[in-house]
Amino acid sequence: MTTHARPGATGATPSPVATSAEHAAGPDAQPDAIELLGLVAQLEDVAFARLAADAAEAPSTEQRLELSRFAAAAVERRERVLARIAELGADPVAALRQFDHVLDDFDARTQPSTWWERLLKAYVGYGVADDFCRLAAEGLDPESRRVVLEVLDDASHAELAVAELDAAGADDGVLSARLALWGRRLVGEALGVVQRLLVQRPGLVRLVNEGAAAEPAAGPEQNAGTDVVAAPANAPTKLFGELTAQHTRRMSRLGLTA
Amino acid sequence: MTTHARPGATGATPSPVATSAEHAAGPDAQPDAIELLGLVAQLEDVAFARLAADAAEAPSTEQRLELSRFAAAAVERRERVLARIAELGADPVAALRQFDHVLDDFDARTQPSTWWERLLKAYVGYGVADDFCRLAAEGLDPESRRVVLEVLDDASHAELAVAELDAAGADDGVLSARLALWGRRLVGEALGVVQRLLVQRPGLVRLVNEGAAAEPAAGPEQNAGTDVVAAPANAPTKLFGELTAQHTRRMSRLGLTA
C-alpha cells in the first residue's frame, strides 16, 4: 500500500520547482516530459484493454462494433505518444512500462457490477485521468504538449457513454440514484490515484507547477472560470479543485448528482 | 449439435450451381457476396477480440503492445469489409451478426492452456478460416474480391506467431511435439467449422463452386501447384485438399509436423 496524501498536502513536497525561465527547458524538463508521456501512453493502453473488454461484454452487436472502434482508436493515440517519446530520444516501451500497474488498485476497488456501471467507470475514470494529464501537459515543451492535448481531445468514447447513460437514466430514478453513488465512489478512487502519483512522481508535480505558473500563456487550452493567478505552491490544491470541477461537469451532463 | 458432413460429401448438396456465364452476376450473386463479406467481417471481429484478449495475457510489455496493434488492424480490416457491404446496399451489422456464433463451438473445443498454444491457435485457426474465405472470394464480383483478398493478405499477425513459435520451439523438442499434436487438433476442429458452414450456407458453396469454375482466370491469386482443371462438382473436395495443404505449409514454416 502506498501512503495517501491529502489533497493540497502534496504542494509541500520539497521537490525542485522550476522557475518560469526554466519552463520546459530546465535540466529535468526532458525526463519529466518522458514521464508524463509514458503515463499518457499507459493510460491509452489501459483504455484499449478496457474498451476491448467492454466490447466483449457489450449487450448488442452495434455496441460491440462501436466499442472495438474506440479500442482501435486508443491504440492509434498510444502510438502517437510513443512516437513522441522516441523523437525525444527515450525508449517508448520503458517509458510506458514504468506505469504498468498504475490503475491496478483503482480497478480492484471499482469492479463494475452492471453494464451501466462499466460505462460510467470508463467515463469518470478516464475523465479524471485525462484531465490530470491535460493539466500537467501545460508544463511540457510545445510539441509534446500539442501531442498530448490532441490525443486527449478525442472524446468520442465519452460521447457514447453520455448518450447511452443518458438514454438509460432518463426514465429510471433508481438507476440514476445508484449511478450517482457509483460516480462518487469512482471519483474518490480516481483522485486517490492522482494523489499517489504526485507523491511518487516528483516529475509530474514539477510539470503541474510549471503549467500553473505558465497558465496565463496557455492559450486556447486555458480553462475558463479559473482566472485566479496561480502560485506554483498552490498548484496541487488548484489541480484537485479543477479535477473535481470537471468531474461535477461530467456528472451533470449525465443528469447525475456529483 | 450440427450434422458433420465428411469432406467431399458436401459436393453432393443439391444447391444451384451457377454456370460461368452467370459468374458473379447471377440473381443470387449479391446475397451470396453479402454472406461471404459478412463472414469475413465477423472473422476479423473475432480476430480483434482474440488478439485483444491475447494482449491482456501477453507475457511482456512488448508483446502486449504488438498484439494490441494487430487487434487495432483487425478492426480496420473489418471496417473495410463492412464499408463494402454498405456499398452493395446491404446492412453491414446484419450481415456480420448472422455469423455471431460461428466460432463458439471451435473456441469451446480448443481452449489453449499455454501462451504457445494460444499463439498457435490464432495462427492455425485464422489460417484455415482465411484460406477458406480467400478461396470462396474467387466467386465474388471483382471489387468485393479485391477487398476480401486485400484484407486477408495482411499476414503481420501470422509473422509474429511464426517468429515467436519458431524461437521457442527451436531448442525444445518436448514443446515442438506437444505443439504438433495441438496443431492437428486445431486443424481438425477448424475444418469441421468449414464443413458446417458449407452445410448451412448454400451461398458459400455457390461461391466456392463459381471460384473453382473461374479459376483459370484467377490471375495472381491463383494457387501454384493446383493446376488440375476443377469441375464445380469437385470444388468442395478440392477446397478441403487446398485447406489441408495450406495448413501443412504453415506447420512446416514452424518446423512442426502437420
What's the rounded Cα separation, in Å, for the pair B245 and B127?
11
Task: List the single range of A70-84, A200-214, B37-51, B203-217 with lowest mean pLDDT.
Answer: B203-217
Confidence of residue B156 (pLDDT cuts 50, 70, 90): low
DSSP B223: P
DSSP A206: H
Are the beta carbons of A93 and B55 separated by less than 8 Å? no
Q: What is the ipTM of this complex?
A: 0.78
**Pick the residue with more confidence: A143 or B126?**
A143
Q: Per residue in A142-167, pLDDT tens?
A: 999 999 999 987 666 667 777 777 77
What pLDDT does residue A102 have?
92
By C-alpha distance, the chain B residue nearest A64 is B45
Q: Per residue in A99-126, pLDDT tens?
A: 999 999 999 999 999 888 988 888 888 8
Calculate the average pLDDT of chain A: 81
- For the segment A228-236, the average pLDDT, to the nearest whole number, is 55
Contacts of A218 (CB under 8 A, 6+ apart): A138, A211
Q: Which SS3 state, helix, strand or coil, does residue B193 take? A: helix
Instruction: Give me the percent of chain B exceeding a pLDDT of 70.
Output: 78
Q: Which residues of A touch B76 (CB under 8 A)?
A: 72
What's the rounded Cα separation, in Å, for the pair B239 and B98?
23
Distance from CA of B52 to the nearest CA of A (A): 6
Q: Which CATH architecture has domain B27-253?
A: Up-down Bundle (1.20)
| Residue in A52, A62, A78 nearest the CB of B93 | A62
How many beta-carbon pairs under 8 angstroms link A with B? Answer: 72
Phi-psi group of B139: left, alpha or beta (phi > 0 → left; psi -120 to 50 → alpha; rest → beta): alpha
Instruction: Give me the percent of chain A exceeding a pLDDT of 70.
Output: 78
Q: Which residues of A touch B53 (CB under 8 A)?
A: 52, 56
Interface check for B126 against chain A (CB to CB < 8 A): the answer is no
Calculate the average pLDDT of chain B: 81
What pLDDT does residue B18 have?
39
Are the beta carbons of A97 and B61 separated by less than 8 Å? yes
Confidence of residue A21 (pLDDT cuts 50, 70, 90): very low
What pLDDT does residue B76 have?
96
HSE, CB side, 13 Å, CA atoms: give it for residue B221: 23
Q: What do you get for the CA distance between the two ends of chain B, in Å?
A: 27
Which cell numbers hold the place of A133? 494529464
Confidence of residue B155 (pLDDT cuts 50, 70, 90): low
Interface check for B81 against chain A (CB to CB < 8 A): the answer is no
Task: List the single range of A114-118, A204-208, A213-217, B66-70 with lowest mean pLDDT.
Answer: A213-217
Q: Which residues of A touch B62 (CB under 8 A)?
A: 93
Res. B164: pLDDT tops 80: no
Are the beta carbons of A48 and B52 separated by less than 8 Å? yes
How wide is the angle at C-alpha A101 spanned by C-alphas A100 and A102, nearest 5°? 100
Res. B150: pLDDT tops 50: yes
Give which of A157, A148, A100, A151 is closest to A125, Cα–Cα. A157
Interface check for A107 against chain B (CB to CB < 8 A): the answer is no
Interface check for B96 against chain A (CB to CB < 8 A): the answer is yes
What pLDDT does residue B236 have?
77
Contact A37, A148 (CB under 8 A): yes
Q: Which of residues 132-191 of B touch A (CB under 8 A)?
A: none
Q: Per residue in B238-252, pLDDT tens?
A: 899 999 999 998 888
Domains of chain A: which residue ranges?
27-253
DSSP B16: P
Q: Which of residues 24-53 of A touch B (CB under 8 A)?
A: 45, 48-49, 52-53
What pLDDT does residue A217 have?
47
